[in-house]
């Protein structure tokens, strides 16, 4: 790998603390970069080699960042607001763009990151060239709540929280609580993606595993209705993390989708 294509670590200053970001340069330096939004327990490191492979498959620069409280970013100062999805798009994403020099972009979000990516597309319609959601939620489904409750019980077993400590350090307990307590709260139950992401102007690719333990096929159906130019792919036999379970399928779908839309 040449020096020009090596990953570059960067830091974003925000009023709440610093955010960690990593950039994987693509061969086409002038194309709009792909910005990755991680899931509720995720971070830059948990994308593993997917960003590098996505940059190679599309030729575009790929940028991933740790939300405040996650990964290498600074600790979150308190509890998550029930408006945290929209707040990520309105408060933190503009700072990321400003400090990393991002103008036009492609938003790619996994799980709750898909909802955040959709909010970014809605807030910046002139700059978002395309949106990709993977395993994203469109509302608070009982299946989602049941999956989270089961995962919380698993993490309560001896040694299981160490799986998160490896990536989030002493913030791991907060990460788990922020996910479970928010999604299982009565205050968050009325949330819907459509309320914060009205009709989207950009092309939309919706990816969802047929066996997703955190959401039925109703989620991708509702998300696809948000855009006039939308493509929905239900991935057979895949669960909640298709980009890890079958990365070749996800990479091929995203590269084809972006190439077809310039």
- Residue 199 belongs to a domain with what CATH number? 3.40.50.1820
| Residue 29 located in a structural domain | yes
Q: What is the pLDDT of residue 199?
A: 87
Q: What is the pLDDT of residue 261?
A: 85
d(CA 133, CA 223): 9
With a cut of 70, list the residues of the chain below it in pLDDT.
1-4
Q: What is the pLDDT of residue 3?
A: 60
Q: What is the pLDDT of residue 254?
A: 98
Q: Domain count of the chain?
A: 1
| Residue 155 located in a structural domain | no
How high is the mean pLDDT of the chain?
Answer: 96
| Residue 150 located in a structural domain | no
| Residue 183 located in a structural domain | no
Q: What is the pLDDT of residue 135?
A: 98
Q: What is the pLDDT of residue 4?
A: 64
| Residue 95 located in a structural domain | yes
pTM above 0.95, yes or no: yes
Q: Residue 228: give the domain boundaries.
A: 3-141+191-260
| Residue 225 located in a structural domain | yes
| Residue 249 located in a structural domain | yes
Express each pLDDT in 46-97 by its tens digit.
Answer: 999 999 999 999 999 999 999 999 999 999 998 899 999 999 999 999 999 9
Q: What is the pLDDT of residue 75?
A: 98
| Residue 199 located in a structural domain | yes
């Amino acid at each position: 790998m040449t020096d020009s294509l090596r990953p570059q670590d960067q830091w974003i200053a925000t009023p709440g603390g610093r955010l960690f970001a990593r950039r994987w340069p693509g061969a086409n330096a002038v194309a709009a970069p792909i910005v990755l939004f991680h899931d509720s327990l995720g971070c830059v490191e948990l994308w593993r080699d997917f960003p590098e492979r996505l940059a190679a498959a599309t030729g575009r620069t790929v940028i991933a960042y740790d939300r405040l409280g996650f990964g290498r970013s600074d600790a979150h100062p308190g509890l998550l607001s029930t408006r945290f999805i929209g707040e990520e798009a309105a408060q933190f994403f503009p700072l990321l763009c400003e400090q990393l020099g991002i103008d036009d972009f492609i938003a790619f979000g996994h799980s709750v990151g898909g909802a955040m990516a959709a909010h970014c597309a809605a807030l910046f319609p002139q700059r978002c060239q395309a949106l990709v959601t993977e395993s994203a939620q469109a509302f608070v489904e009982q299946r989602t709540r049941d999956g989270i409750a089961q995962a919380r019980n698993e993490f309560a077993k001896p040694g299981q929280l160490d799986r998160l400590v490896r990536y989030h350090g002493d913030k791991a307990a907060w990460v788990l609580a922020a996910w479970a307590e928010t999604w299982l709260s009565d205050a968050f139950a009325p949330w819907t993606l459509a309320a914060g992401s009205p009709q989207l102007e950009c092309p939309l690719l919706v990816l969802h595993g047929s066996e997703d333990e955190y959401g039925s096929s109703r989620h991708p159906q509702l998300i696809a209705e948000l855009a006039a130019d939308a493509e929905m792919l239900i991935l057979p036999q895949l669960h909640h993390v298709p980009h890890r379970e079958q990365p070749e399928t996800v990479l091929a779908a995203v590269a084809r989708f972006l190439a077809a839309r310039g």
